[in-house]
Amino acid sequence: MQDWIDKNAPPNFWISGFFFTQSFLTGAKQNFARNHTIAIDLLDYDFQVISDETKYDLTTAPADGVYIHGLYVEGCRWDDRIEALAESAPKVLFTPMKTIWILPMKKADIDTGHSYTCPVYKTARRAGTLSTTGHSTNFVLYLSLPMQKKHTAKHWYKRGVAMLTGLSD
């Protein structure tokens, strides 16, 4: 944290390292609102999984939003080839997720397309109590992830697909 003060924030954030992840995400939304003079109430997040890292310079921060890494997918995997959710490999419960660009946008401009609204939790337990702020101590946010046309969101719900900031082991 001292390096952030002395130098600059990193271009790509390890999301699992934050104690109160929601605060970090709200900060990203606040920065966007200030830079574009938009009321924060009109904003939400758009998400882009970065399958081909050669198309992006992950060594510099994006002009808007934040790059995050360190998430794991449970119940499926990310397929770089089709840039969508795919079935898990046999006997593989968790797979590391690619870098994700979280981009605040006006709610009216967000097109989720054919996507799965994936919950993100801090732990695989997926349970938590409400803290004094009114937030769950385990739930972080919902992320929209593209899925193949042959699947519906119900397909992934039945598999219990979620993302985690950390694994138990």
CATH of the domain at 46: 3.10.490.20
CB 88 within 8 A of CB 161: no
Would the pLDDT of 30 be above 70?
Answer: yes
Least confident stretch, 3-12, 23-32, 153-162: 3-12
The whole-number average pLDDT for the span 38-44 is 93
pTM: 0.88
Whether residue 77 lies inside any domain: the answer is yes
pLDDT score at 91? 92
Nearest to 105 by CA among 27, 61, 43, 48: 43
Would the pLDDT of 72 be above 90?
Answer: yes
Q: How confident is the model at residue 114 (pLDDT cuts 50, 70, 90)?
A: very high
Structural domain boundaries, residue 59: 10-164
Nearest to 107 by CA among 159, 42, 152, 157: 42
pLDDT score at 90? 93
CB 114 within 8 A of CB 157: no
Whether residue 148 lies inside any domain: the answer is yes
Residue 114 or 4, more confident: 114
Whether residue 2 lies inside any domain: the answer is no
Whether residue 4 lies inside any domain: the answer is no
Whether residue 133 lies inside any domain: the answer is yes
Would the pLDDT of 17 be above 90?
Answer: no
Q: How confident is the model at residue 5 (pLDDT cuts 50, 70, 90)?
A: confident
- DSSP structural state of residue 16: G
Number of domains comprising the chain = 1
Whether residue 5 lies inside any domain: the answer is no
pLDDT score at 119? 93
The whole-number average pLDDT for the span 109-137 is 78
